[in-house]
Each structure stands twice: as structure tokens, then as C-alpha cells.
Amino acid sequence: MTRRRRPARREVAPAAVTRRELLAELRDLELALHAPAVQARFEKQPPEVRQRFVEDRLEISHYVALLAHAELADIQGQLARLEPELRDGIARLSSALDAAARTAAILNALTSLLGPLARVLALA
Amino acid sequence: MPELTVRYGGRNGRAVRFALSPGMVVVRTRNRAPLVRALVSARSREVLDSFERHAAFPEHGVEVLRLRPVPGAPRMVDRDAARELLRRDPAVEFAGCALVSASSLRHPNAALAEPVVYTENLFVAFREGTPPARARALLQDYGLRVRRTLPWAGHAYAVSAPRGTGVAVFEIAGALLDRPEVELCHPELVRRRLFRRAFAPQWHLRSARVNGVRIDAHVDAAGAWRAARGEGVTIAIIDEGIDIDHEEFARRGKIVAPRDVTHGHDDPRPGRGEAHGTACAGIACAEGRAGASGVAPAARLMPIRMASGIGSFDEATALVWAVDHAADVISCSWGPPDGQWWNPDDPTHGEEVPLPDYTRLAIEYAASRGRKGRGAVVCFAAGNGNEPVEHDGYASHPHVVAVAACNDRSTRSVYSDHGAAIWCAFPSNDYSSDALGHPPPRTPGIWTTDVTGNAGYNPGGGLTRGDREGDYTSGFGGTSSACPGVAGVAALVLARNPRLRARDVREVIRRCCDRIDEAGGEYDEDGHSRYYGYGRVNARRAVSIAARFVLVFALAMSGGCAATAEYGELGKAGAAYAAAVEKLLVADAELHADASSERLLQNDALANLTDAQYQRATDDDRRLIATLWVLRRHVRLTREYFVRLGDVAGDRTASKVDDTTAALARELRGLGERLEESALLDADGRKALGALAAVGVSSALRGALARELRAHGDAIRRELALQRTLLDALAAHLGASLSAVTQAREHRLVRAPLLAEKPISNADRWVAQRRAVLLADGAVAELAAASEAAAALESAFEALMQGRLTADRLSALGIELQALLDVASIALEEGER
């Protein structure tokens, strides 16, 4: 069975929008859980309550990191697919520059050749 | 009733039609005294009792009388009978007709139409190349006397028709326009000049408490003063007289090139009852020494008194005086009469008042010749009629910054004119209106300078209308008040970056605005609101943008082959963009690491963390930072692409080839002479050979650029679209990291030491840390606009592909890129704190 290649995406898929919204909500929650007032309140709690709270907070941070990474990695993957074309463009532009430089070089060489030739003819 | 037609803009220009007003009479007494004091006969006095004084034009020695409205009562006289009687009175020199716009006569409230007075003067501009002798002979043919030449308007004259010509000046203007030598010609028509004043502390400059209420609807001028106060910049205020002896204008060197254009001398002090100019000048540039500060307190003031009506030659004279005496910014808080803002049936709402040609040319002269060619910034008040600004040819001129008024609740002032021509808004006073559902204002208006003593708006003696001495007023307002405020902001911008052109300043103002009243502002896709333009100006942001305008400057100055210049500019912009994104990626990685570390510290303060917990958090961080680094590599590739595009576009090989080919031709010629073939390569031939080779190389490069974009244009489009997504994601991530770092540091470095029992050991350090925490909030807000740069680059690229890349678009792109660079710098600074 042959697998069909998926067409390149040209915009962010709807799923990513949902992920972005979820990420924004989780970030707000993470920020709220680290607010100075919350921190101060839990500093006065018994060790087991603090332990549980820290575990929960770490869990939230872990999910935020996963989602943030997924978002950036998705964009990075799409950008990476464009890199061959960028490199090809750079090569084309470089060769255009080289061609122009070669024209100048040929003309320079011709000029330096003609000088002595004229002098030789003058002597003839 | 016959109509009279005036053409602005030449024979094929815009036609404006007038009619004789059925209810108004224009009168001039022999001794130029007001009619109430003139020694007219008893019969004339009886006739005059049927009229009321509607307007006065003292500079022309005339008054406009309007028949008193007496509902149901038969009129004792009509207009023509009254004119006839007054003409026979020995005390009266002239009794003529007033004009009104032809359309206003068809309005149900025609009686409220504004009068227009003709002066028997004309403006005539001849086509280039017309000999002066021919021009003067032509003027003599019509009996016209040259009053003055107007070199700023080309080959143009202000001329007078013989006294008694009357409405025949319209025929003369029409006949002259039909002459092939004449380009522009129209009579001088004057209307009442309505100052844009509508009916404390300076809450418009910074957050302030007024009458016990906190008002937070300001332009943050105080924030801008840390960077600029208007030093070295001159603001011309064209208005009524200005009290130049006021303590706020008394500094040596504060007043420059004062002028009274109505009377032709250098004393601009106010006449009786003229308080408007002093109030306007104070809003722009009062020193802030004793009782009020202007937006640009260190700017110089050029007071230009103009007591003439709207449409007078004097308004062009005033503008040209300002330009010729090096004004950087010109503020005009006046315009054609407005309709009553509360009365939708006022016919004045629908009346269009175009710019006279001489005033239009004077505004264009300011834009092109002011500030040694960089252009003077011209601001006009939008108007107070709650009507379309497009009807006002002054405020809606494309070179003008049209200023609307907003109020102390950050919504529109009920009277402020509206429309597409509004550029921005500035705080002013307001009124309540039950009929329009408009709430009452919380402040009396704007606090500014007043004519010293009891001669101004505030008679003194109490505190209800300003200070006890009467030197300051608390209730100034209207778009009159808003206009000099924006002139002050323009002065701050130019003080920060004097290289900016007038159009750059307009762009900076556009870019700096705060969008207010999102719900009612009706902002369109371009961020423009018909009520606020691009929003309420933010002086602090304007100064910040102005300081970093180098990129736009570089784009504007970029040279290179004209055929490839647009590619070069896009190349430069793309490279600058990629550099800024790279900077943002670095900042993001640094701030992410800091935020994560702060959180680990916070968690550890509650419960000792395990190795596994630490390791998982660190793995998360490493993975995310590694992705940021991969993105950084990609952005470097993007940057290289745009740099190479710019290299090809800006390549000097073509000119080098030109030089080389010339040398080659010289050698060939030497060789040819030997071979007796010199005719093949004469001087013209050498030149042609060099030029052909250069064009060949240039065409080859341009062809290469075009082929490149054909081959990879789609990929670049996708790249730029993805870059926008990337910037959105980065902005969100950076914002979250910055908030986390700020929050944690506030707790760790500011709050905890303060609440601890032990006193703070290093108070200066604590203050600095707290300041850093507080300022970081602003940085978070700036991040939201980052992705606009990507959108602007995308749009410029599309324009290039379609051959529509214009200087304006490049200028706008430059500003967006500068904003992105600002954001990247701020983020890096925050990361390094």
C-alpha cells in the first residue's frame, strides 16, 4: 500500500488554535498558582499540604512546557520544510552575483590584454 | 435667483455655487465704526431695528445683519428695501448682499445658513512661462490692481477690483479663468472664522485627581518629558492675539518671529475679547513654571495673530510667514463655521467649505518647503459640529493632521467632528446630552494659560473658572484645545529626532496612538476610527518611536539602481526583521530559563524538591530551549536570504562594468587608430559601449531577481505567514515568562524584604528592584504588537510581487520593524535585569 503525501499546510490548523487557547488558560492558571499571596498562604500550611500543592504546581508547569514546546516545534517543523527552497534561492542569487562579477572580470582581463597588444602593434 | 459660481483648482476644478442671501445685508459705515455707534438717520435706525448683528469682519470694515425672526408677524422691510434705504444714508458707505451656499437655501432651516462675504479681491495664478508683463497687462485689462505678489504660489498675485465692482468679481474671475495664460483664479470669500473652542489640574498630561475623582485619560506627556521637552523646536500658533507677556511665555528666547498678519506688524498681542490664542499657545508649549505646562514646555512659540475671517488671504500669509521663519509645527485651532452639535437640522452641517487655492498652496508650501525641505507639520482642529470633517477643506487636506477631541472618560467629546480624514484625538472638554445619550463630563475642561488679569476667560477673584488672579483658565475645550496638544506632541517628536520629515512625524503619531473606546470607536481593519483617527496620541510612545526611527531613515535614503531599488529595500527590511526575531528568540530562551528557575525556587521554598522533580523540569526546559535554538538557525537562514536579495539589488557591478568598459573602449580606440579603424569607436561610441554593458549587467541582475521571486515567491509567502504565527507564539511565551519572572522577583526581592521584621539593608537597591518590577508591566503590554511587523513585511512582499511597493508602504513597514526591534530590545533588557 502506498501512502499519500499530505499537502503542505499553509496556515495554522484549527487544532493548533485550540491548543493555543488551552495553553493561554494554563499559563494564566500557572501564574495565579505562583502569585505572592498564594505562596504566602501555603507557606503557613502543614508539610504534607505543601508537598501536594508543589506536586500539582509542577504538574501544571510540565503540561504548560509540553504544550509550549509542541506549539513551537510545530512551527519549526513547517519552517524547516521551506529551508531547501531558501537555500536554493540563496544559491541562485549568489550565482547571479557571480555572473555579474565574471562579466566585469572578463572585461577587466580583456582591457589588460589590449593594453600590451596596442603597444606591440605600435612597435610593429 | 441667479447663482454665482467659484472654481477652486482651475478651469476644470471644483465648482462651488453661491446665492444671494434673502435675509442678510452687508453694511460698511463711512468711518468704519460699528453700526450701533454710527450716526445714521432715524429712518435707517428704524430699519436696522428689524435686523440683528450676525457677524462682523472688522478687517474688511463690514458687518453682516440678519433679519430678526418674528414668527407670524409681517415684515416691515425686506432685504432690498433695507439696502436701498441704507445706501441713501450719508453715514453708510456700502450696503450690499451677503452670499450663502446655494444648497443651504433649499434647506428647511435656510435662515440659519452661514453668510459668506466677498471682498472685491481676487487670487490669480498664471501658468508657468507667462511673461510678467503679459500677466500685468491682462490684469489691467480687467481694471485689477496688484496688491502683492505671492512667490510661494508660483507666478501668482493678490489683486483688487475697483471699489463698487460688487458681485461682478465673480464674472471677472470666470473670464480670467477662460484665458489660456491663467491657471487658477477665484474671488476672496470670507466666512466667520469659528474658533474650535467648545464649551483642575492638567489631567490631559498625566493621571490626576480632579474634584476628588481620579482621571486617567491622558496622553502621558509627563512620561515623554524624560526623553524630550520640545527643545530646539518652534511651534507657530496661528490664532487670535496671544498674551506674550504671560509668565508662562516670558523666558528669554521663548518667543520667536511674532506677527500680526491682519494688520501687518510684529505685535501679536490680543485685542479686546481675544482669549482663544493664549489658551491654545499654553496647551502647546507653556513653560510650566508657574501655573500650567504645555505638552512641549521647552519648545519656542511663534505667535501669529490673524483676526481675519475664514477664506481671507491672511490665512495663507500666516502659514507662509510661519514657514519662512522656520516654524517646525503649525497649529490652527480654527476653521469654517460648524453646525450646532446638538441640532441635526442645522443646515450648516451639510455645507462644504473648500480650501481657497491660495490657502491650499500655502499648506503645500509648508509641507514641501518647511524645515529646509523636510516639511513643517500642520495641525488643524477637526471642528465642533458633530458633523463630517470631509466638509471642511482645511482639516481634511491630506497634508494636515486633523485632530478630534476625546474626553475625560476616554470616549469622544460629543461635539467632535468625525470622518476618514481624522488622524488622531487629544483630550478635551465635553458636554452632556440626554438627547444624544451622552453622559456628563467629570472635569470642567482643560487647564491652560489665560490672558493675564481679568481680560480672558477667567476674570479671576475666585477658583471656579481657574486661578484667583485670572491668569489661568480651567475650562478650555473643543477641538481648539485638542489641536495644539497634538502640535505639542509633534514638537516632542522632532526634539527627539530632528531628521524626521513631516510625513514621518504623521506616521509616528499614527503609530503611537492608544486605541480608546474599542466598543464605540468603530475601528476598521487598518485600525482607523472615524471618531478618533488612529486613537488618542500617546506622547511617551511617540518619543520612543521617534528616537528609533533610524531604520525608516535608512530605507528612505537607500540608493542603488532605480530598477532594482524596491528589491533592495525589501531585502534590507527582511534582513532587519530577521535580526529582530533572532534577538527575540534569544530573549525568549533567557527569560524562559529565568522563569523556570524562579518557579523551582518558589516550589523549593514550600517543599524540598526531589531529584526526579528537578530533572523533569530541566528536561522540559532543555527541550524547549533546543527548539528555540533550531528556530534561531532557521531565522539566520531567512536573514541570509534577504541579505543576498539586497546584495543583488544593490550590487555595484553594473557601474564597475561601466568604468571597465570605458577603459576597454579607450584601449580599443588606441588599437583602432593603429588599425585605422578609429571611426568605429569615437567618443559617442565609447560612451554607448560602456552604457550598454552596464545596462546589460543591470538587466541581468534585475532578471535574476525577478526569476528568483518567480521560483520561490510562494515559499517566501509561506515563510512570512509562518513567521507571523511564530511571532504570535513568541510574544505569548515571552509575556508569560516575563510575568512569571516579575511576579517571583516582586515577592522575593521586593515584598518579602519589606514585610520582614528586619529593616531593608540597602534601600537604594530595593527601590531599583521595585522600579524594575513595576516597569516590566509596560514591557508585557508592548509585546502584544510584535506580530504587526510580520504582517507589514508580508504585505510589503505582496506589493513588490504585484509591482505596487510604494514609499508610503515602505515607511509604514519601517515603523513596524522599528517597533519589533524595540520589543526585542526591551525583552533582552528584561532578561538581563
The 3 state secondary structure assigned to B125-187 is: EECCCCCHHHHHHHHHHCCCEEEEECHHHCEEEEEECCCCCCCHHHHHHHHHHCCCCEEEEEE
Torsion sign, CA atoms A83, A88, A89, A90? positive
For the segment B568-575, the average pLDDT, to the nearest whole number, is 78
pLDDT at residue B651 is higher than 70: no
pLDDT band at B831 (very low <50, low <70, confident <90, very high): low
Instruction: Give the minimum alpha-carbon distance from B273 to chain A in angstroms, rounded to a whole number.
Output: 59
Instruction: Give the minimum alpha-carbon distance from B790 to chain A in angstroms, rounded to a whole number.
Output: 14
* B626 reaches A (C-beta below 8 A): no
Instruction: Give the minimum alpha-carbon distance from B522 to chain A in angstroms, rounded to a whole number.
Output: 26
What pLDDT is stored for residue A13 in this prediction?
Answer: 39
CA-nearest residue to B671 within chain A is A118
Cα B245 from Cα B271, distance rounded (Å) = 14
Q: pLDDT tens digits for chain A (124 residues)? A: 334 343 333 333 344 447 888 898 899 899 999 998 898 899 899 999 999 999 999 999 999 999 999 999 999 998 888 888 888 878 877 777 777 666 666 656 655 555 555 555 555 4
**Dihedrals phi, psi of B433, to nearest 5 degrees:** -150, 115
Work out the mean pLDDT of chain B and round it to a whole number.
84
Cα A73 from Cα A82, distance rounded (Å) = 14
Question: Is the full-model pTM beyond 0.80?
Answer: no
Of A23, A94, A115, the CB nearest to B667: A115
What pLDDT is stored for residue B760 in this prediction?
Answer: 87
What pLDDT is stored for residue B563 in this prediction?
Answer: 41
Of B627, B722, B743, the CB nearest to A35: B743
Which of B293, B312, B410, B480 is an active site residue?
Answer: B480
Which of B54, B276, B528, B634 is an active site residue?
Answer: B276
Q: How many CB pairs under 8 A join A and B?
A: 198
Is B698 in the active site? no
3-class secondary structure, B258: coil
pLDDT at residue B350 is higher than 60: yes
Task: For residue range B131-142, list pLDDT tens digits in order.
Answer: 999 999 999 999
pLDDT band at B654 (very low <50, low <70, confident <90, very high): low
Cα B377 from Cα B500, distance rounded (Å) = 11
Is B276 in the active site? yes
Torsion sign, CA atoms B707, B708, B711, B717? negative
Cα B382 from Cα B194, distance rounded (Å) = 12
3-class secondary structure, B797: helix
Among B95-104, B462-471, B619-628, B726-735, name the most confident range: B619-628
Which of B239, B417, B651, B822 is an active site residue?
Answer: B239
pLDDT at residue B223 is higher than 60: yes
What pLDDT is stored for residue B559 in this prediction?
Answer: 35
- C-alpha distance from residue B429 to each of A29, B275, B304 (Å): 42, 17, 25
CB B506 within 8 A of CB B306: no
Instruction: Give the minimum alpha-carbon distance from B701 to chain A in angstroms, rounded to a whole number.
Output: 6
Restricting to B residues 652-681, those with a Cβ less than 8 Å away from any Cβ of A are 653-654, 656-657, 660-661, 663-664, 667-668, 670-671, 674-675
What DSSP character marks residue B347?
A: G
| Contact yes or no for B740 and A57 at CB 8 A | no
Among B63-77, B179-193, B740-754, name the most confident range: B179-193
Q: What angle do CA B21, B240, B331 make, to 5 degrees?
A: 100
What pLDDT is stored for residue B659 in this prediction?
Answer: 57
Is B808 in the active site? no
CA-nearest residue to B599 within chain A is A34
Task: For residue range B513-568, list pLDDT tens digits in order.
Answer: 999 999 999 999 888 999 999 999 999 999 988 876 644 433 433 333 334 566 77
pLDDT at residue B817 is higher than 90: no
Q: Is B53 exposed, middle or buried (0-12, 13-18, 19+ CB in 10 A)?
A: middle
Q: Is the ipTM of this complex over 0.95?
A: no
CB B667 within 8 A of CB B585: no
Cα B332 from Cα B330, distance rounded (Å) = 7
pLDDT band at B783 (very low <50, low <70, confident <90, very high): low
Of B634, B644, B726, the CB nearest to A83: B634
pLDDT band at B465 (very low <50, low <70, confident <90, very high): confident
pLDDT at residue B35 is higher than 90: no
What pLDDT is stored for residue B635 in this prediction?
Answer: 87
Lowest mean per-residue pLDDT among B131-135, B314-318, B347-351, B539-543: B347-351
| Contact yes or no for B641 and A72 at CB 8 A | no
Residues in A closer than 8 angstroms to B656, CB to CB, are 104
Q: Is B262 exposed, middle or buried (0-12, 13-18, 19+ CB in 10 A)?
A: buried
pLDDT band at B234 (very low <50, low <70, confident <90, very high): very high
Composition of chain A by helix, strand, coil, percent to 5: 85, 0, 15
pLDDT at residue B613 is higher than 50: yes
Cα B200 from Cα B446, distance rounded (Å) = 7
Cα B735 from Cα B785, distance rounded (Å) = 12
| Contact yes or no for A69 and B623 at CB 8 A | yes
CA-nearest residue to A20 within chain B is B729
